[in-house]
Amino acid sequence: MKFCSTCGQAVSLLVPPGDNRERYVCSHCGTIHYQNPRNVVGTVPVWEDKVLLCRRAIEPRYGYWTLPAGFMEMGETTSEAAARETLEEAGARVEVQNLFSLLNVPRVHQVHLFYLARLLDLEIEAGEESLEVRLFEEHEIPWDDIAFPTVGQTLRFFFSDRQSGSYGLHTGDVLRSLRDG
């Protein structure tokens, strides 16, 4: 950040009085610009014994498979954002169910939230950000071509819970990058 969004003057990185972290502060108007993690929300859309995945048509990870998800917008609840992203990326209408996974990704300043979701019908189609969409049985999942660690971890949680017959809320931290393996 270089300029204040309030008055347009240059900002400086410093620890404001009463704080313990560096923040961008405008010396002209005094506005403190807090930067916080962004929420990425999506679904694990299920039809019978299959899960819906999207093949990405955008970077990062163009051509890799993911669950339908994206950044939450202002004025949305997390479940509304999850349903919207599923519709936008996969043309899929869903009944959003329980929050299923909450994974912190501090390296990229994000929190990823995935809800279990029931597909309402099979009218699915790739949106602008997807090359294709497809339903996969567990043994068909393209594990080596999954776009993000949070998606792979959420899918592993899902299939493990399905096998046990009990779905819980899963939390964790993803501290490695894709390059770390």
Which tens digit of pLDDT belongs to each residue from 12-53? Answer: 999 999 999 999 999 999 999 999 999 999 999 999 999 999
Residues of the chain with CATH 2.20.70.10: 1-35
Residues of the chain with CATH 3.90.79.10: 38-175
Supply the pTM of this predicted model.
Answer: 0.90
Which tens digit of pLDDT belongs to each residue from 119-137? Answer: 999 999 999 999 999 999 9
How far, in whole angstroms, is CA 15 from its chain's centroid?
30
CATH architecture for the domain at 1-35: Single Sheet (2.20)
Which tens digit of pLDDT belongs to each residue from 132-177? Answer: 999 999 999 999 999 999 999 999 999 999 999 999 999 999 997 6
CATH architecture for the domain at 38-175: Alpha-Beta Complex (3.90)
